[in-house]
Amino acid sequence: MALDHDELRRIDAYWRAANYLSVGQIYLLDNPLLREELRPEHIKPRLLGHWGTTPGLNFCYAHLNRVIRERDLDMIYVMGPGHGGPAALANAWLEGGYSEVYRHISRDAEGMRRFFRQFSFPGGVPSHVAPETPGSIHEGGELGYSLVHAFGAAFDNPGLVVSCVVGDGEAETGPLAGSWHSNKFLDPVRDGAVLPILHLNGYKIANPTVLARVPEDELIKQFEGFGYRPLMVSGDDPVYMHRRMAEVVDEALEEIAQIQRVARTSGLERRPVWPMVILRSPKGWTGPGEVDGVAVEGTWRSHQVPLARVRTNAEHRRILEEWMRSYRPEELFEESGAPVAELRELPPEGVRRMSANPHANGGLLLRDLVVPDFREYAVRVSGHGKQSSEATRVLGHFLRDVLLRNPDSFRLMGPDETASNRLSAVLEASDKVWQAQILPVDEHLGRHGRVMEVLSEHMCQGWLEGYLLTGRHGLFNCYEAFVHIVDAMFNQHAKWLKVTRRLPWRRPIASLNYLLTSHVWRQDHNGFTHQDPGFLDVVLNKPSEVVRVYLPPDANTLLSVVDHCLRSRDYVNVVVAGKQPALDFLSMEEAVLHCTRGIGIWEWAGTDRGDGAGPDVVLACAGDVPTLETLAAADLLRQLFPELRVRVVNVVDLMRLQPASEHPHGLPDAEYEALFTPDKPVIFAFHGYPWLVHRLTYRRAGHENLHVRGYKEEGTTTTPFDMVMLNDLDRFHLVMDVIDRVPELGGRVAGIRQRMVDERLRHRAYTREFGEDPAEVRDWVWPY
Amino acid sequence: MALDHDELRRIDAYWRAANYLSVGQIYLLDNPLLREELRPEHIKPRLLGHWGTTPGLNFCYAHLNRVIRERDLDMIYVMGPGHGGPAALANAWLEGGYSEVYRHISRDAEGMRRFFRQFSFPGGVPSHVAPETPGSIHEGGELGYSLVHAFGAAFDNPGLVVSCVVGDGEAETGPLAGSWHSNKFLDPVRDGAVLPILHLNGYKIANPTVLARVPEDELIKQFEGFGYRPLMVSGDDPVYMHRRMAEVVDEALEEIAQIQRVARTSGLERRPVWPMVILRSPKGWTGPGEVDGVAVEGTWRSHQVPLARVRTNAEHRRILEEWMRSYRPEELFEESGAPVAELRELPPEGVRRMSANPHANGGLLLRDLVVPDFREYAVRVSGHGKQSSEATRVLGHFLRDVLLRNPDSFRLMGPDETASNRLSAVLEASDKVWQAQILPVDEHLGRHGRVMEVLSEHMCQGWLEGYLLTGRHGLFNCYEAFVHIVDAMFNQHAKWLKVTRRLPWRRPIASLNYLLTSHVWRQDHNGFTHQDPGFLDVVLNKPSEVVRVYLPPDANTLLSVVDHCLRSRDYVNVVVAGKQPALDFLSMEEAVLHCTRGIGIWEWAGTDRGDGAGPDVVLACAGDVPTLETLAAADLLRQLFPELRVRVVNVVDLMRLQPASEHPHGLPDAEYEALFTPDKPVIFAFHGYPWLVHRLTYRRAGHENLHVRGYKEEGTTTTPFDMVMLNDLDRFHLVMDVIDRVPELGGRVAGIRQRMVDERLRHRAYTREFGEDPAEVRDWVWPY
């Protein structure tokens, strides 16, 4: 459909209004409607914002609004370019959505003054698209994740169209480059659509962009090669560009509708070729052409503030005023400062406005997950530590039923590791989604699956974030070492959650749940590169109101913990659990009690007689392998020192170790001391880097008696017991640590200590001779 | 050139030998030449290795060897597929390079037995390509970085061809997907060539791969769109495949030679279209076709060990024996166990062997960096803290001259941030390298530059790693918050360095140097998403023998620190420094002394009279902004409490805080106590997360008196002083901390403490009113 003259005039006016409002935010403290001549005191003393990408973002917004109205679309807008804050805010204000959320920023002259002033100003709003920005699920800051967020939002949202502007700077990042392949995972039947708009404005901060500087045939082939049909919009003349963009957006939406219609009725033979838009327009379009004798519009120099010294330089101020007046604000805003009626009527209404679409405030749409009773999946245990289970395999059955009961609101993500992580039971409930070719030999691949596997931690994380932010639930299972690949994405999501918790209008969303398995202690055939428990250290740098870390020691505790995590809101939950056969320590009743407390004494494992005298030594542990070694050490100590009072404390919820003042889960000091004693030696066998425990406990009484064993970067391809020996976490070394720290053992111990040293040597020699651990280690069970 | 019959036969024999040696490594403890019937005790008890990708890697290796000989090429081989260990090892042994490095693994029957046994065995070698593997610069473990490593190796190595097998699993990762664009940064004149071989074997661990399941026209368009000319080799019949691969490899090498010839003589008009190979062959090629009734060859089931129960299952054992005998070992190995003469003569000789090429042991080729005298770049200071410099801008001049003096062995990497990080002086020495289109408006872009800018931290890191590992030098400048994007890559590089330090035949390489700037405290226009000092926490989890962290407080100390880092070997050095105007505290003479010590008392800043009585309180600081606030607090304390003895301690080398037993830079306890006192309150203003300082010092005497202020995830777009106030790191709060912790101040302090509270409120109010910090803060200098 061609734009008629009147439509073109209106859409251009709307664009001019958004551009005006964008420039105003960057520069003005006062005189928002330029009803006086611009004076220095109207200008912000520090100019902190970005113009370059903004006019292009406003241009897309205006055109998307047109099709939303015409087609009554349910659409949200993901802005990839990091510095698009002014555009997102300008459009939200123009649509009225902004003032509904922030009543003091009214849609009038005074509101406009405040709106300009608050931008990138102390006590105001950030210069990037942020949680504070209505209509956003994607923060402008760290680059590379817009397209995965968009796809995540579209999954299981068949009525939604997610438009997504990808900046040509962002497009150079690895995560973005990989995420074009998301189209191999989008189901045209059950999912919504994503409309990527690759915005080539040609420059980053200080350099041209790769995609803007390759020949057009290469550019087009690349995106055809990714499986899209690129529609080009290229130029700088607004009239031409409006007409062309309208045509192209119509064509794209028509094609999306057609693909969905066919897929949902007669069915598609093969993966559809979705349309995308490539928009080539000048950086800083409509801004100052030249400043101080050098070109600005159309170059990297318009990335940030094209005019840097407006307060002190009259010529710069003149250019700014001319620039702002070029948008003809007098035609755009009424005397009151509100947009003129014609502009007010142009955008969609109510929840169809992209700034007010509930999908972009996912908590509004969130329904509770239907969770089966996890107790029904329990391993029946005949005693403490007598038999083995594969914890994640047990969990798989529970997750299978979560998938079954939530057929359109729960997804499981994994980087080609779901089977390796022994969660294969989930495939009884859902296929792995796959829109590329399927061959007869394939198993459990399907067009409509909700188990998602791609060899990209970035895509798993980004898809899940997009899915959660639009009001659904999920879990990401990952090898422990390689979750570091998404450290930065985790950081950004945690920051987002922290901010949203302080915004009452942002409704809580489901927590981001990590299941980290194939962990450091059991990389038998992968070795050193696969051994890294440090994600916990990254996580614990983030605000305590947002992060939770659990180390369930066995299958039943894993079930209890994951049940809790899946029901929670606005957290990042990290669960570390083993996949290898490992002892079951607790019955389900005990597991629930233990997990509810998060930390506790395992009386059955200790020789602390409960007569009030207290223990001589505390063996603490967190994690499945450290718990095993601790119990084996407790067993040795019983035999070696029958009179020694040993207490075993197991930690599931790592946050319990912190002072109550530092974390909501933190134990009060009195309770901490009741568990660990204020003055007895504590030998702590920890899953991760040992100093993490010190960091959590350094303020506790008795900290000087705490001795932590954990991973200290000693590892290679070897047997499980050799791994713990390499890091001094093994049962024999724990006994040596007790001997070294319990003076009550007196002079009788030198021989016993030497026996432990010899045991270690003997075990190592056995392993190197036979290539496996001695049977006494492999088959050890709790003997009492 | 077509392969003649005899060549074909020989190359196939070589391939069979490599395959035989690969299978042997995975399965056999003994009976390496199958001179007896295979019995259970010949089989490893735990089968830990990966077959799937191996025959394809062996196939490529054999064909590359052919062209190396024919063309006398200087070539190294980067194996992207994570699980290619058996292939790399098999070929190194076949070529004889392995036995030269590891003499006990001789090229005979006993050597072969040991060679098989050690693989993925306790006390042996890892199952992935690793530092222990001769000929490797790329560890098989975490996936996604093969191609960036390959390009990094090729830069400034005009005579080198880097062949690089990219697995189709790995190809799904973001970093790999983005790195195809490295061809926009490779100079055909000054750099070598990269020959990517995309190996489509169709499957990952448990799923098909995306690229193997898209239509061929899409596949080809995608790589043409990335700017390559793909040459297809597709099939499973060895005879056909050998002929086709030979043709294609010849064609590719001819084309590479032609491109280089033209570029280096008449010059190229535009970026060349480099050839690449797409090899489509079955996963587990030549392995068992079917096991237990299901297809194995050509499916994901051959990813790991195609036969899992060889020790206990006679049928599996029979299949294994048949499989190994299918390679006809009796034709391949002499009675002695050595490869037959024909095979021994096939590979290239000496350093032309890819397993013995010195580029893959870069320390062999490393020349010292020519470093100008950093003192000549000093800022002249007229007194302590009287004037301001932009530290990184000062450093830029030094780096410019480093670039000038090392025209083929030093590169500076940055994700489009080199100008933003104020290092622009380097552009006087070198352009930013750019092979895509250059327009008249562009500045400092050139075909032959050695400043590298691409909006991808992954590419910057990966290129630099490849460059360093092949014996050159470099520095990566990055926004502090976004270096988390490469946490995982840093982890792997640190692990690599740790292992190589224990391998005497691996020669030391230049350190990986990070300059982190645009740091947490000065994100005035970017806000919360750009505020994250947590990379230091990630770094400090790695072995102390490898990692170093420096926080120079001003320009002269930055020069001194970077000079030191650039000269060092086998470390990862992290330097955090500001780019904004900040006070110069030390003259160059003082800076050198201070940096040499790494930590020290700034007598001029304190009121500790040196009369032996010691201080009443220690103000410690690390980082430019914390140092500023600490000095301002010291100034306030002089005025408020003239009799209070205040000592100011500044920390440049963070490792000095650790006990000497934990880190080679750690201060002995006595020296630590001499600085910090064993019993006085210490208020520590720290650049990063405060608990990091606790983690480093928890074993120190007086730790209970240490109170640390740092970043605690309170941030947004605001002024510099508001940022420190948000995190309680400001001068007023530091004074409050002193008041709260120095009992000697007695009862006189309640009013003064309240004044500090009021000052904070007044400053915040001013900032929110005027949008900038009060002049008394902005213009503060050390007044004494």
Q: ipTM value of the model? A: 0.97
pLDDT at A1 over 70: no
Question: Chain B neighbours among A 550-589 (CB < 8 Å)?
Answer: none
- Give the confidence band of A114 by pLDDT, cuts at 50, 70, 90: very high
Q: Dmax of chain A from CA atoms?
A: 99
Looking up residue B507, the CATH number of its domain turns out to be 3.40.50.970
Task: Tell me the per-residue pLDDT of A429-471, one tens digit each, with 9 for 90 and over.
Answer: 999 999 999 999 999 999 999 999 999 999 999 999 999 999 9
Beta carbons of B125 and A717 less than 8 Å apart: yes
CB contact under 8 A, A173 and B174: yes
A residues 244-283 lying closer than 8 A (beta carbon) to B: none
Whether A495 and A612 map to the same domain: the answer is: no
Is the pLDDT confidence value at B598 over 90? yes
Q: Sorting pLDDT into bands at 50, 70 and 90, what band is B743?
A: confident
* A183, closest residue in chain B (CA to CA): B210
Angle, helix A238-264 to helix A54-71, in steps of 10 degrees = 50
Give the confidence band of A525 by pLDDT, cuts at 50, 70, 90: confident
DSSP B18-48: HHHHHHHHHHBSS-TT--S---GGGB-SS--
Amino acid (1-letter code) at residue A411: R
Q: Pairing mode, if any, of strands A451-453 and A547-550?
A: unpaired
Query: What is residue B1's predicted lDDT score, i.e. its pLDDT?
Result: 58
pLDDT confidence of residue A567: 97
Are A559 and A616 part of one and the same domain? no
By C-alpha distance, the chain B residue nearest A431 is B207
Q: Does A539 lie in the same domain as A642?
A: no
Cα–Cα distance measured from residue A75 to residue A162, given in angstroms and rounded to the nearest whole number: 6
pLDDT tens sequence across B70-91? 999 999 999 999 788 999 999 9
Q: Are residues B126 and B263 in the same domain?
A: yes
Say whether A142 and B529 touch across the interface (CB within 8 A).
Answer: yes
Q: Which residues of chain B lie closer than 8 angstroms to A534, CB-CB? A: 491, 538, 541
- Residue pair A170/A31 in contact by the 8 Å Cβ criterion: no
Q: Residue A25 — pLDDT band, cuts 50, 70, 90?
A: very high
Distance in angstroms (rounded) separating the CA atoms of residues B276 and A487:
33
Of B353, B383, B417, which marks where a domain is finished? B353
CATH number at residue B613: 3.40.50.920
B765-783 per-position pLDDT tens digit: 999 999 999 999 999 999 9
What are the residues whose beta carbons fall under 8 Å from the beta carbon of A514, sequence distance 6 or more?
A: A475, A476, A477, A478, A483, A535, A572, A573, A574, A575
The C-alpha atoms of residue B232 and residue A410 are separated, in whole angstroms, by 41
pLDDT above 90 (res B139): yes
Q: What is the pLDDT of residues A722-742, one digit of tens each?
A: 999 999 999 999 999 999 999
In a domain, B593, yes or no: no
The reply to whether A416 touches chain B by the CB within 8 Å rule is yes
Q: Angle at CA A469, nearest 5°, toward A354 and A173?
A: 90
pLDDT digits 0-9 by tens, B25-41: 999 999 999 999 999 99
Q: Is residue A40 part of a domain?
A: yes
Give pTM, 2 decimals.
Answer: 0.97
By C-alpha distance, the chain B residue nearest A722 is: B122
Mean pLDDT computed over B323-346: 97
Distances A342 to A13, A93, A346, B580 between C-alpha atoms, Å: 9, 15, 6, 46
In a domain, A744, yes or no: yes
Q: B213 and A534 in contact by Cβ < 8 A?
A: no
Indicate if the pLDDT at residue A300 is higher than 90: no
Dihedral in degrees, nearest 10, Cα atoms B92, B94, B97, B99:
110
Question: A437 to chain B: nearest residue by CA?
Answer: B213
First-to-last alpha carbon distance for chain B, in angstroms, is: 81
In this structure, are B43 and B83 located in the same domain?
Answer: yes
Place of tokens 């100019």: A47
Q: What is the pLDDT of residue B82?
A: 77
Do B426 and B307 lie in a common domain? no
* Structural domain includes residue A177: yes
Write out pLDDT tens, residues B535-551.
999 999 999 999 999 99
- Does any CB of chain B come closer than 8 Å to the CB of residue A448? no
User: Among residues 86-115 of chain A, which lie with CB inside 8 Å of chain B?
Assistant: none
Minimal-distance CA residue of chain A relative to B173 = A456
Contact A128 B222 (CB under 8 A): no
HSE-CB of B742 using CA atoms within 13 angstroms: 25
CB contact A376 to B (< 8 Å): no
Average pLDDT, integer, range A320-346: 97
User: What integer pLDDT is reported at residue A746 of this predicted model?
Assistant: 76
Query: Cα–Cα distance between B588 and B582 in angstroms, integer?
Result: 16
Residue of B nearest to A299 (CA): B441
Distance CA A227, CA A205 (A): 30
Domain count, chain A: 3
For A716, nearest residue in chain B (alpha carbons): B126
Is residue B385 domain-shared with residue B334, that is, in the same domain?
no
CA distance A345 to chain B (A): 33
| Closest by CA position to B3, among listed B239, B292, B243 | B243
Among partner residues A205, A717, A767, which is closest to B126 by beta-carbon distance?
A717
Judge whether B79 lies within some domain: yes
Q: Please state the length of chain A.
A: 784
Which of A 124-163 lie inside 8 A of B, CB atoms?
Answer: 124-128, 130, 139-144
Q: Which domain holds residue A733?
A: 601-778
Is B303 near chain A, with CB under 8 Å? no
Q: Would you call B222 and A219 a contact, using CB atoms and an 8 Å cutoff?
A: no
Q: Are residues A412 and A558 in the same domain?
A: yes
Instruction: Tell me if B307 is assigned to some domain.
Output: yes
Burial class (CB in 10 A: 0-12, 13-18, 19+), A443: middle
For A207, the token pair is 């350099």
- The β-bridge relationship of strands A294-295 and A290-291 is antiparallel
B99 and B209 in a single domain? The answer is: yes
Establish if A722 touches chain B: CB-CB under 8 angstroms. yes
- Per-residue pLDDT band for B269 (boundaries 50, 70, 90) equals confident
Question: Do residue B349 and residue B410 come from a single domain?
Answer: no
pLDDT recorded at residue A69: 96
- What does pLDDT average to over chain A? 96
Q: Flag if B713 and A455 touch (Cβ within 8 Å).
A: no
Would you call B226 an interface residue with chain A, using a CB distance cutoff of 8 Å? yes
Q: Which of B582, B615, B633 is the last residue of a domain?
A: B582
- Which amino acid does the sequence have at A637? L
Question: Does the pLDDT value for residue A413 go beyond 70?
Answer: yes
**pLDDT of A127-144, one tens digit each?**
999 999 999 999 988 999
User: How far off is chain B from A689, nearest CA to CA, in Å?
Assistant: 7
Comparing C-alpha atoms, which of B432, B418, B426, B510 is closest to residue B473?
B510
What mean pLDDT comes out for the span A402-423?
A: 96
- pLDDT tens sequence across A200-226: 999 999 999 999 999 999 999 999 999
In a domain, A398, yes or no: yes
Q: Are residues B612 and B743 in the same domain?
A: yes
**Across residues B577-599, what is the average pLDDT?**
97
Q: Which of A526, A552, A582 is the last residue of a domain?
A: A582
Residue B182, domain member (yes or no)? yes
The pLDDT value given to residue B554? 98
Is pLDDT larger for residue B663 or for residue B494? B494
**pLDDT value at position A749?**
87
Same domain, A322 and A459: no
A vs B, Cβ pairs < 8 A, gives: 369
Q: In the predicted model, what is the mean pLDDT of chain B?
A: 96
